[in-house]
A and B are shown apart, each in its own frame.
Chain A
Amino acid sequence: MRKTWSSMLLRRLLQSILVLIGVSILIFGISRMVPGDPARMALGPRTPEWAVENLRKQLNLDKPLPVQYGLWLLKMLRGDLGESLVTRRLVNDDLRDFLPATAELIVVAAIIEIIGGILLGVFAARYSQTWFDGFTRVLAYLGVATPSFVWAIIFLLIFSFAWPILPATGRLSAGIITPPRITGMIVLDGILSGNFAAAWDCLLHLILPAISLAMYGVAQSARITRASMIENMERDSVYAHAAAGVPRRVIMTKYVLKPSLIPTVSVMALDIVAMAGNAFLVEMIFNYPGLSRYGMTAMLNKDLNAIVAVILILGLCFVVVNIIVDFIVALLDPRVAHYGGV
């Protein structure tokens, strides 16, 4: 078995590298397709032609495209993402500030989706055709049909204004000392540095945006879990176990749940990657200083370096999440592990 696992990892890594190369070519292509001469744009219309020519040489714009791509890739690999037009800072510094905030948000939303989706799905299947099943069905329709920013507004109105029990905006309340930066994720840094007040306060700030973001995924994965639970409950193997006296609780939480999670996991992965995009409006509404907001602002301002960085990070997340999913699926489904993936 061990041999299959490591060869699977190797194959997945190679595939991921191919995907990332594809993404990088795409990004490079887009960045060169933007109309206008970058050197001329950088120096302004009044600069003499020889100075522009010099800068072109300096930026390697006189070289053939494949060479330019190679040089650009090397620069990226060195971690040199350039400067942002909007913030006038190194893109690296911006990422350092904004990425952990969004990562924290998405992690919390993902946890909500995983726990909420599976629990709702399992109970809806166990108590199918009862009021609970009906309740999850309605919840699921609402969850799938309502965009996350609408949830954000609804939750904000209810839990921060009508019945103010949760903070409305930002990452930390005024007067709370930000813990020293270790990972940039305040909840984590707070716990690591013993500043539990900050960790708790940040978590409270995360609840509403994370739930808004997770609603769609919770709804979708609850429905998928329910459907595959019910399908798996009707298998002869389940009847055979039931007839042998295996208690219903064991059958449901073991023999039915495990195969039912296989489709759920793949769908959840897609949801979680999509959260990075959906986070934009949610971050706007909660005035949350995250990467999605940063990326969107960059796009509206044609801030090329920042756009490239955000897309690269999204691509990287996609690849990593996919590798993780492949391993979870292989853990759940021995056939996949055995044949080394589908």
Chain B
Amino acid sequence: MANTILNVDGLHVGYRVYGGTLKVLDGIRLVMDAGEKIAVVGETGCGKTTTMKSIMGILPRQAVIRKGQINFKGRNLLTPGTEARGMRTIRPKGVSMVFQDPIAALNPVFTVGQQLSDVIKYSRGQTKQLSKQSVRDAAIEVLKLSALPDPERILTNYPFQLSGGMRQRVCIAMALSTAGDLLIADEPTTNLDVTIQDQVLRLIRNLVEEQGMSLALVTHSLGVARQMTDRIYIMYAGTMVEVAPTEGLFDKPFHPYTKGLLGSVPKLTGEGIGLGIPGRIPDYLKPPAGCRFYPRCEEALPECKDNKPELYDVGGGHRVACFLYR
């Protein structure tokens, strides 16, 4: 299994805003093996989407990649940009993403068919010219794979004519049509009905397993992460605070933040994370100089104030970014 396909290391990403730069990602480290399913769990605003968009090479204009490395299948995606501001990403081939909000992820004024065919045409067709019919066949096939009934009709529909669950399935189909090695699913069910959530998650897991892809699932919910993935990354305020095989994490969480999360699990399934831990995510304009969890940490040591903890190995593939486990 030790065939690494994705290696993100020391990634620093900020957003230029009025009054300064939001220093959001602070040395993100994320490693994935081929065929592995990981979850990235963290409360809202901790930078999950920013991390995934960095990997995809689709950060918005305001974003600045200050330093770091992203390697996908041995290829370095970050190069020093022409502008002095930061780095430029090369878009990786074989990675696709299902976005958090299926309404925003589909263009409202084009039919599903128009959008899907362009995606298929340009992702596969650059070298060989695809006939209209074969593009259409491919579109129908991915819609069928995504468990959408009556795909011929859906091709002629505009996004607003579909239900939320159907829209997210269309997004999944779109991601599948270009997917190769890695599927990133950014909270794919947050905006869906509870009854649909489970279906969509199961669909994603089955598809990923059938196609032999790796999956990076972003979620608020530890329950979902446990059910879907092999390994969990816990993220806090732009840092990865703990990485562990799924069961290992639930058996013995180390990081004070993770412990707080697990302590608040019952409340959290529906509500989101962070209710069990007093305090708030820090201000990204002036983040803490040392451990980013320091202001909320009940076990803080004196050195935590000014020094950043690395990820320390605690055995069993379990790593924790906290001075308590140095």
Q: How far is A258 from B93 in the complex, measured between Cα atoms in Å?
A: 28
B123 touches A240 (CB 8 A): no
Give the contacts of B87-135 with A (CB-CB under 8 A): 91, 93, 95-97, 99-101, 104-111, 115, 118-119, 122-123, 126
Q: How far is A234 from B111 in the complex, measured between Cα atoms in Å?
A: 20
B58 touches A242 (CB 8 A): yes
B57 touches A334 (CB 8 A): no
Q: Which residues of A contact B110 (CB under 8 A)?
A: 254-255, 258
Q: Which residues of B contact A240 (CB under 8 A)?
A: 97, 99, 105, 119, 171, 174-175
B104 touches A244 (CB 8 A): no
Q: How far is A246 from B119 in the complex, measured between Cα atoms in Å?
A: 6
Known: A234-B60, A236-B101, A244-B123. A259 touches B118 (CB 8 A): no
B119 touches A334 (CB 8 A): no
Q: Is A41 positioned at the interface, with any CB of B under 8 Å from its CB?
A: no
Q: Is B153 positioned at the interface, with any CB of A under 8 Å from its CB?
A: no
Q: How far is A234 from B99 in the complex, measured between Cα atoms in Å?
A: 13
Known: A240-B97, A242-B58. A338 touches B106 (CB 8 A): no
Q: Is B168 positioned at the interface, with any CB of A under 8 Å from its CB?
A: no
Q: How far is A299 from B58 in the complex, measured between Cα atoms in Å?
A: 59
Q: Is A78 positioned at the interface, with any CB of B under 8 Å from its CB?
A: no
Q: Which of B108, B158, B178 is within 8 Å of A244, CB to CB?
A: B178
B108 touches A234 (CB 8 A): no
A246 touches B118 (CB 8 A): yes
Q: How far is A258 from B60 in the complex, measured between Cα atoms in Å?
A: 21
A236 touches B160 (CB 8 A): no
Q: Is B161 positioned at the interface, with any CB of A under 8 Å from its CB?
A: yes
A241 touches B118 (CB 8 A): yes
Interface residue tally of chain A, by bracket? 20 to 34
Q: Is A333 positioned at the interface, with any CB of B under 8 Å from its CB?
A: yes
Q: Is A88 positioned at the interface, with any CB of B under 8 Å from its CB?
A: no
Known: A245-B123, A250-B118. A334 touches B105 (CB 8 A): no
Q: Is A9 positioned at the interface, with any CB of B under 8 Å from its CB?
A: no
Known: A234-B61, A258-B109. A241 touches B104 (CB 8 A): no
A73 → B minimal CB distance (Å):
42
Q: Is B56 positioned at the interface, with any CB of A under 8 Å from its CB?
A: yes
Q: Is B226 positioned at the interface, with any CB of A under 8 Å from its CB?
A: no
Q: Which residues of A contact B126 (CB under 8 A)?
A: 245
One digit per residue, 1 when the CB lies within 8 angstroms of any chain B CB and 0 when it does not, for chain A 214-251 equals 00000000000000000000111111111111110010
Q: Is B53 positioned at the interface, with any CB of A under 8 Å from its CB?
A: yes
Known: A234-B60, A234-B61, A240-B174. A259 touches B109 (CB 8 A): yes
B109 touches A243 (CB 8 A): no
The CB with the most chain B CB atoms within 10 A, among A245, A335, A338, is that of A245
Give the contacts of B258-287 with A (CB-CB under 8 A): none
B115 touches A241 (CB 8 A): yes
B96 → A minimal CB distance (Å):
7
Q: How far is A254 from B109 in the complex, measured between Cα atoms in Å?
A: 10
Q: What residue in chain A is nearest B111 (Cβ atoms)?
A: A334
Known: A239-B53, A245-B123. A338 touches B161 (CB 8 A): yes
Known: A236-B104, A239-B58, A335-B108. A244 touches B53 (CB 8 A): no
B61 touches A335 (CB 8 A): no
Q: Which residues of B contact A235 (CB under 8 A)?
A: 104, 107
Q: Which of A236, A247, A258 is within 8 Å of B122, CB to CB?
A: A247
B118 touches A334 (CB 8 A): no
A237 touches B104 (CB 8 A): yes
A335 touches B57 (CB 8 A): no
One digit per residue, 1 when the CB lies within 8 angstroms of any chain A CB and 0 when it does not, for chain B 146-187 equals 000000000000101100000000010011011000000000
Q: How far is A259 from B118 in the complex, measured between Cα atoms in Å?
A: 17
Q: Is A332 positioned at the interface, with any CB of B under 8 Å from its CB?
A: yes
Q: Which residues of A contact B58 (CB under 8 A)?
A: 239, 242-243
A205 → B minimal CB distance (Å):
40
A229 → B minimal CB distance (Å):
13
Q: Which residues of A contact B122 (CB under 8 A)?
A: 244-247, 250
Q: How far is A240 from B101 in the complex, measured between Cα atoms in Å?
A: 12
Known: A259-B109, A334-B109. A239 touches B56 (CB 8 A): yes
A245 touches B60 (CB 8 A): no
A333 touches B96 (CB 8 A): no
Q: How far is A261 from B58 in the complex, measured between Cα atoms in Å?
A: 24
Q: How far is A69 from B174 in the complex, measured between Cα atoms in Å?
A: 63
A228 → B minimal CB distance (Å):
12
Q: Which of B93, B105, B158 is within 8 Å of A236, CB to CB?
A: B105
B108 touches A259 (CB 8 A): yes
B56 touches A243 (CB 8 A): yes
B294 → A minimal CB distance (Å):
34
Q: Which residues of A contact B115 (CB under 8 A)?
A: 237, 241, 255
B160 touches A334 (CB 8 A): yes
Q: How far is A204 from B93 in the complex, measured between Cα atoms in Å?
A: 54
* 5 closest residue pairs by CB, A with B: A239-B58, A244-B119, A236-B104, A237-B107, A236-B105
What are 20 A-B contacts with C-beta separation under 8 Å? A234-B61, A236-B99, A236-B105, A237-B104, A237-B106, A239-B56, A239-B58, A240-B97, A240-B99, A240-B119, A241-B115, A243-B56, A244-B119, A244-B122, A244-B174, A245-B126, A245-B178, A333-B108, A333-B109, A335-B160
Question: 8 other contacts beyond A244-B122, A258-B110, A333-B108, with CB at 8 A cut-off?
Answer: A234-B60, A237-B105, A239-B99, A243-B97, A244-B177, A245-B126, A334-B108, A334-B109
- A-binding residues in B (CB < 8 A): 53, 56-58, 60-61, 91, 93, 95-97, 99-101, 104-111, 115, 118-119, 122-123, 126, 158, 160-161, 171, 174-175, 177-178
- B-binding residues in A (CB < 8 A): 234-247, 250, 254-255, 258-259, 332-335, 338
